[in-house]
Amino acid sequence: MRKILLATALAALAAGCAHEKTSYGDARGVETVTNQFGSTDLQMIAEAMARSMQLSPAIASGNLPIVTVQEVKNKTSEYIDTRSITDSIRSELQKGGKVRFAVDAPGMTQQVDEIKRQQSEYYAREAAVEKGQMVGAQYRMEGNITSIVKEVKNTKDVYYKFNLQLWNIRNGLLEWSDEKEIRKTTTR
Amino acid sequence: MNAKLVFAALAATALVAGCATKKGFEQPGYAYGCPIGDQKVGSMNDLVKAKTAMEGRRTTIQPTEMRCTKAGDLLKIDANLNNDSSSVKRISYKFRWIDREGMRAAEEETWKPLMLYNNSNMMISTVAPNAKAVDFRLILMSGE
């Protein structure tokens, strides 16, 4: 009984002494914890795509074209939040000041709900938004991300290819397209 | 004799004028298309020194050439990085964007990892995130 008590006390002491340290890091630093899709990949893709798109004639014309964001298909074997990639691209482009964004399909329900709410009897008629005032997009942005994974005994190689396209909604023409490739190799 | 003198004077004038025209391609405050402000930049080496900074662990990778141009109202940059060592080098780089007042024109960029083969060059290209970014610094860090 005494032995059990002693062992329990020792285990508790050891657990208490196990030193855990937390520190803040650089959110924009190179992250190489594993070779799965990571923050550096997301940031590099968003930056490269937004910068490249700003040079496309459709955007560079200075007419503040209206773009809507559609799906980026994840064709890789791992889980990637592609919405997070398009959100970052959108933020980067928005800061560039050359594009305006129309509400996209996932945000439509919230947009319509808000219009309906403002048209209810609780709101002043003259200040409430009217139906039929939303502006449609001229371009839609869509893309896909694919990966090729090769693994042998001590080496794992991952190749990512992110492709983004800007389509003219009126005439169906592809106005711009670009790719970002990333290769990561892990050896044990 | 006089005719010879006049001819020589004319040739010299033409030469000077020719040189002046060639130098005139560069706008004041710019070198190789890159903004330099009041800095004295007489060569590509001077430009590279003025525009490059090392942060964190230093690397032996050096930019050897830098050229800038305007794409619409956005500054576009090409920088050639050279690895003259006999081993593969890994670095991280980013550009820092500066506005007309010398303030940051955009958020800090993400560090971008890059691998350079031994005895090789690699051209990195970028474009300013917005029209306010009229100047830049290329920041390098060893990734080893």
Numbered residues of chain B with Cβ closer than 8 Å to any chain A Cβ: 71-72, 74, 76, 92, 94, 106-113, 126-127, 129-131, 143
Residue A128 has pLDDT above 50, yes or no: yes
Which residues contact residue B74 at a Cβ distance below 8 angstroms, ignoring those fewer than 6 apart? A54, A55, A60, B127, B128, B130, B131, B133
Q: Is the model's pLDDT at B22 over the cut of 60?
A: no
pLDDT band of residue B23 (cuts 50, 70, 90) is very low
Residue A79 has pLDDT above 80, yes or no: yes
| Domain annotation covers residue B14 | no
Does residue B79 surpass a pLDDT of 50? yes
Give dist(CA A72, CA A49) in Å, integer.
Answer: 13
Structural domains of chain A, ranges and CATH numbers in brackets: 35-102+137-188 (3.40.50), 105-136 (no CATH)
Confidence grade of residue B38 (pLDDT, cut at 50, 70, 90): confident
The answer to whether position B5 is within a domain reads no
- Note whether residue B114 is domain-resident: yes
- Residue of B82, B80, B136 lying closest to B105 (CA atoms): B136
Q: Taking CB atoms and an 8 Å limit, are A60 and B143 in contact across chains?
A: no
pLDDT tens digits along A9-60: 666 656 656 789 999 999 999 999 998 999 999 999 999 999 999 999 999 9
Q: What is the pLDDT of residue A12?
A: 60
Closest CA to B128 of A28, A177, A178, A55: A55
Write the DSSP symbol of residue A35: S
- Residue-level pLDDT at A81: 95
**Residue A4: φ, ψ to 5°:** -65, -45
| Interior/surface letters B77-90, b for 16+ CB within 10 angstroms, e for the rest | bebbbbbeeeeebe
Q: What are phi and psi of B13, to 5 degrees?
A: -60, -45
B136 within a domain of the structure (yes/no): yes
- Is B16 part of a structural domain of the chain? no
Residue B110 and residue A62: Cβ atoms within 8 Å? no
pLDDT at A74 over 70: yes
> What confidence category does residue B15 fall into, taking pLDDT thresholds of 50, 70 and 90?
very low
Spatial separation of the C-alpha atoms in residues A152 and A37, rounded to whole Å: 19
ipTM score of complex: 0.83
**Residue B12 buriedness (CB in 10 A; 0-12 / 13-18 / 19+):** exposed
The answer to whether residue A44 neighbours chain B at the CB level (below 8 Å) is yes
Q: Which residue of A has its CA nearest to B129?
A: A96
Tokens standing for residue B62: 């050096």
For the whole model, what pTM was predicted? 0.84
* Mean pLDDT for chain A overall: 91
Q: Is B1 among the domain residues?
A: no
Q: Please state, for a pLDDT cut of 70, what percent of chain B lies above it.
A: 83
Residue of chain A nearest B133, judged by CA positions: A96
| Residue B106 counted as domain residue | yes
pLDDT of residue B27: 80
Rounded CA separation A70/A58 (Å): 18
Taking the C-alpha atoms of residue A40 and residue A29, their distance in angstroms, rounded to an integer, is: 7
H/E element, B135: strand B135-142
pLDDT, tens only, A142-178: 999 999 999 999 999 999 999 999 999 999 999 999 9
Mean pLDDT for B127-136 is 95
Q: Domain residues for B90?
A: 29-142
Give the confidence band of B18 by pLDDT, cuts at 50, 70, 90: very low
Buried b (16+ CB within 10 A) or exposed e, A83-115: eebbebbbebbeebebbebbbbeeeeeeeeeeb
Percent of chain A with pLDDT over 70: 90
Q: How many CB pairs under 8 A join A and B?
A: 47
**Structural domains counted in chain B:** 1
Q: What confidence score (pLDDT) does residue A62 get?
A: 81
**Does the pLDDT at position B121 exceed 70?**
yes
Q: What is the CATH number of the domain that holds B87?
A: 2.60.40.3230
Angle at A50 between CA B55 and CA A96, to 5 degrees: 85
Work out the end-to-end distance of chain B between its first and last CA atoms, rounded to an integer number of angstroms: 70
**Sequence-ordered list of residues with C-beta below 8 angstroms from that of A136, at least 6 positions apart, any chain:** A66, A102, A169
Answer whether A40 touches B (CB < 8 Å): yes
Domain presence at residue B23: no
